[in-house]
C-alpha cells in the first residue's frame, strides 16, 4: 500500500542554523521557510536526489513541535512520511487494521492531503501518509 519515502522530518531548535547546516555544510538545496498555521509549524524542505528532509520549527505557543522541543531541547527525528495513492482508502485500511489515525485528513506542506498514524502502532515511529 505505501509508496516511496517522501521525507524524514527533523525538529530543529533553531531553523536558521538547521537550514545553514544542510545548505552550507552539506551543500544541499533548501527551500524558503513556509509557515503552516493549521499544523503549528514552520517548515523548510531539503532536496535530496531520492527524497527530502523536512526541518520543522514551532509556529506559535500551541505548536506540537514546541512540546516536542520541551522534551527534546536539541531537536531530533520527528516522523517519516510515505506516499499513498488514495489517502481516504489508506485511512480506512489503517483503521480496519486497528491502527490509530491521529486527527482528520488535512492539507500538508506540499498542498496534498495528509494524515498521521499513532507511533505506538508503528514500532514507536510517528508516520505521516501523503497522497501522491
- Whether 104 shows a pLDDT value over 90: the answer reads yes
Catalytic residues: 128
Mean pLDDT of the chain: 96
pLDDT at 61 (0 to 100): 83
Band of the pLDDT at 16, cuts 50, 70, 90? Answer: very high
Which alpha helices (H) appear in the chain, and where do they start and end?
15-20, 64-71, 87-96
Please count the other Cβ atoms lying within 10 Å of the Cβ belonging to residue 94.
21
C-alpha distances (whole Å) from 110 to each of 44, 54, 68, 74, 132 are 11, 11, 22, 26, 10
Task: Tell me what percent of the residues of the chain surpass a pLDDT of 90.
Answer: 96
Mean pLDDT of 60-79: 94
Q: The domain at 5-131 falls in which architecture? A: Roll (3.10)
- Whether 54 shows a pLDDT value over 90: the answer reads yes
State how far the Cα of 99 lies from the Cα of 69, in Å rounded to an integer.
26
- Whether 77 shows a pLDDT value over 90: the answer reads yes
Task: Tell me what percent of the residues of the chain surpass a pLDDT of 70.
Answer: 100
- Whether 1 shows a pLDDT value over 90: the answer reads no
Amino acid at each position: 500500500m505505501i509508496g516511496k519515502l517522501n521525507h524524514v522530518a527533523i525538529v530543529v531548535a533553531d531553523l536558521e542554523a538547521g537550514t545553514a547546516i544542510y545548505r552550507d555544510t552539506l551543500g544541499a538545496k533548501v527551500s524558503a521557510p513556509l509557515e503552516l498555521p493549521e499544523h503549528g509549524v514552520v517548515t523548510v524542505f531539503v532536496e535530496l536526489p531520492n527524497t527530502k528532509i523536512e526541518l520543522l520549527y514551532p509556529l506559535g505557543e500551541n505548536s506540537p513541535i514546541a512540546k516536542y522541543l520541551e522534551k527534546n531541547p536539541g531537536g531530533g527525528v520527528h516522523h517519516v512520511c510515505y506516499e499513498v495513492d488514495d489517502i481516504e482508502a489508506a485511512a480506512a485500511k489503517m483503521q480496519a487494521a486497528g491502527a490509530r489515525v491521529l486527527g482528520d485528513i488535512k492539507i500538508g506542506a506540499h498542498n496534498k492531503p495528509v494524515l498521521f498514524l499513532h507511533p505506538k502502532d508503528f514500532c514507536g515511529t510517528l508516520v505521516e501518509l501523503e497522497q501522491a
